Amino acid sequence: MSLPRPLLVVRELVDDVARRSPARLALTVFASVIAVFTALLATPQATAGPGSAPLVDALFTATSAVCVTGLVTVDTAVYWSTFGQTVILVAIKIGGLGVMTLASLLGVAVSRHMGLTQRMLTARETKADRLGEVGTLLRTVVVASTVVEVATASALIPRFLALGHDVGTSLWWGTFYAVSAFNNAGFVPNEGGMAPFTGDWWIEIPVMLGVFVGSLGFPVILNVVRTWSRPRRWALHSKLTVLTSLVLLVAGTLLIGAFEWRRAETFGDMGWPTRILSAMFTGVNARSGGFATVDIGEMTEATWLVTDALMFVGGGSASTAGGIKATTLAVLFLAIRAEARGDRDIEAFGRRVHRDLVRVAIAVTFTSATIVLVACVVLLEITGLPLDVVLFETISAFATCGLSTGITGDLPDSAKNILTVLMFLGRIGPMTLAGALALRDRKRVVRLPEERPIVG
């Protein structure tokens, strides 16, 4: 079946741009999606009160939703109408699927088949190893996200009903929390967020599981589902992601629990089962989920620092989580271990890690740290706030986590715009940004002589 002439022209234009600069196409599409949702949130129908939202708040909220961050300048449950909250929910879903994945799905729907360029773009976004696996991975992205979200909602809705909420409210809250949890978005549909449900295992556990599964990444979900009964046959990427995620979860839970265990402002007035649950919940969401049952602003500076580190690492590659990614940290650790032991090769689980990955891991980490540092310095000058608070907010925005010490809504517009840019950069990734800005690939015919400078 042939396409109409206008669609053919658009398709040829997109394919041409994709071949020249896939990263630049990603930036354009992603920015366009944010612009659409900004326009929708700027309409009078999106707000619960009279008038429309200021552009800075509409842009901030749209970027936070599409980038599945969760930072807000206004209370989602109070400020936005049902229409506005629905727009936010759709933006979260689209942002979680990923722009390139979404573009490929639209391409399949329009042209009834997927071309080589579309497969290459999707492979870049989802980290698929083979182009032939992209179609299967796309189905997994949609099916896995829907299954987890439906399962999470199915667990939450009966609990909301049991707590005395009406059917409509329970359905809406259950669906919203399920989508927000799996996509690591951190948005909440009710006043007070998760705080009213502190100690409620029937609500916190499903939300935690949704956040954790979403943070693993679609390639890991695909690989684990295929070989769930044979962990030894998992791909190296899956093993590193799952192991690193579990280590960070346990370490974060223990450290946060230890720092806040006896403090009346946070965990101190709770029974010990609730303290354990709260420590686990905070440990899971500190990496990218963005939900909180206690006031983050009341936590100690030591807890903030631990949370900074967890947010900066984030979740798995091609996941709904942000950060430099768990596998990046794993590759850096393996490289350090190999260097300390004097090993020529970087090895893990009976496999050798390609040394080029170390260069990429270093570039991602250094670029991300530089962006955070520059943004932090600028925000310090604009706001005059203490370093610990500004650093927390900066990392939360760049790592698309969404936890906040409570300063976001009170920031000046210029500071809000900086956080908006950070969320955008954090979602598309520093390496994608570098690729989009590059005019062309440098191809060297002649290589210079090698020399070893002194390091350390």
Q: Phi/psi zone of residue 291: left (φ > 0), alpha (ψ -120 to 50 degrees), beta?
A: beta
Per residue in 368-409, pLDDT (tens digit) is 999 999 999 999 999 999 999 999 999 999 999 999 999 999
Instruction: Please report whether residue 61 resides in a domain.
Output: yes
Higher pLDDT, 282 or 20: 282
Instruction: Please report whether residue 296 resides in a domain.
Output: yes
Among 52, 76, 277, residue whose Cα is nearest residue 185: 76
Q: How many domains does the chain have?
A: 1
Q: What is the mean pLDDT of the chain?
A: 86
Q: Using CA atoms, how far apart are residues 246 and 232, in angstroms rounded to an integer?
A: 17
Which range (163-177, 306-320, 329-343, 433-447) has the least confidence?
433-447
- Name the 3-class secondary structure at 299: coil
Which H, E and C letters describe 33-86, residue by residue?
HHHHHHHHHCCHHHECCCCCCCHHHHHHHHHHHHCCCCCCCCCHHHHECHHHHH
Residue 428 has, within 13 A of its CA and on its CB side, a CA count of 27
C-alpha torsion 266→267→268→273, nearest 10: 160
| Residue 110, pLDDT score | 46
Per residue in 23-80, pLDDT (tens digit) is 666 777 788 999 999 999 999 999 998 989 999 999 999 999 999 999 999 999 999 9
pLDDT of 439 over the 50 cut: no
Among 294, 329, 313, 330, residue whose Cα is nearest residue 396: 313
Residue 152 has, within 13 A of its CA and on its CB side, a CA count of 30
CB atoms within 10 A of CB 6: 8
Instruction: Please report whether residue 424 resides in a domain.
Output: yes
The confidence band for 126, taking pLDDT boundaries of 50, 70 and 90, is: low
Q: Using CA atoms, how far apart are residues 275 and 21, in angstroms rounded to an integer?
A: 50
Integer angstrom CA distances of residue 133 from 96, 104, 138, 180, 297: 20, 13, 9, 27, 45
Instruction: Please report whether residue 233 resides in a domain.
Output: yes
Q: Phi/psi zone of residue 199: left (φ > 0), alpha (ψ -120 to 50 degrees), beta?
A: left
Higher pLDDT, 400 or 128: 400
Per residue in 76-118, pLDDT (tens digit) is 999 999 999 999 999 999 988 875 565 555 555 444 455 555 5
Instruction: Please report whether residue 82 resides in a domain.
Output: yes
Instruction: Please report whether residue 280 resides in a domain.
Output: yes
pLDDT of 232 over the 70 cut: yes
Instruction: Please report whether residue 19 resides in a domain.
Output: yes
Task: Tell me the whole-structure pTM to 2 decimals.
Answer: 0.89
Which range (15-24, 88-97, 208-217) has the least confidence?
15-24
- Name the 3-class secondary structure at 387: helix
Higher pLDDT, 11 or 65: 65
pLDDT of 418 over the 70 cut: yes
Q: Using CA atoms, how far apart are residues 116 and 45, in angstroms rounded to an integer?
A: 41
DSSP secondary structure letter of residue 287: I
Name the helix (H) or strand (E) containing 229.
none
Q: How many helices (H) and strands (E) does the chain have?
A: 19, 2
Structural domain containing residue 291: 5-434
Instruction: Please report whether residue 448 resides in a domain.
Output: no
Per residue in 285-322, pLDDT (tens digit) is 998 899 999 999 999 999 999 999 999 999 988 788 88
